[in-house]
Amino acid sequence: YAHKETPLSEFFNVEVVALSSYEEKEEQFKEQVANLRQRFFHSIVPGGLAGDRRGVVPASGFSFSAQQIWKVIKENKDLDLPAHKVMVATVRCEEIAKMKFSSFVENEAWSHLEEIVQSQHVPGFGKKLTSILDACLSE
């Protein structure tokens, strides 16, 4: 009972940090993670994890505070997030597209055709390119 009225923040610094999507904004995600890492390294400076005590919530009020945060999240109808299946499908389609593009770029026939077209006219270029693309996409 010695710490009944002691704020939780005396022992823990509870924060929720939203990060950008790793799949969609990899560079921004890595930058945000690096910023968080710096906060750990410099944790006793103002704004650091241990040094910033503004807006503390006592342990006795943590449950109410968390309920209020969740209430705001549930009431926010403007988020309009796609369904999990849609997000997974989108990510998978992007992975497949990258694989197919890599397959095309690494294709020997394309490399040879690209090299030739730099120096001379290639009769039937469209048909040859279509054939290479069809082969890459049908794999």
Provide the residue-wise pLDDT of the chain in tens; the chain has 139 residues.
677 788 877 777 677 788 888 888 999 999 999 888 887 766 666 655 655 555 556 667 777 877 887 787 777 766 666 677 777 888 888 888 898 888 888 889 888 888 888 888 888 888 888 888 888 888 7
d(CA 129, CA 111): 11
Q: What is the DSSP string of 4-71?
A: TTSBGGGT----------TTT-HHHHHHHHHHHHHHHHTTTSTTSTTT--TT--BHHHHHHHHHHHHH
pTM summary value = 0.38
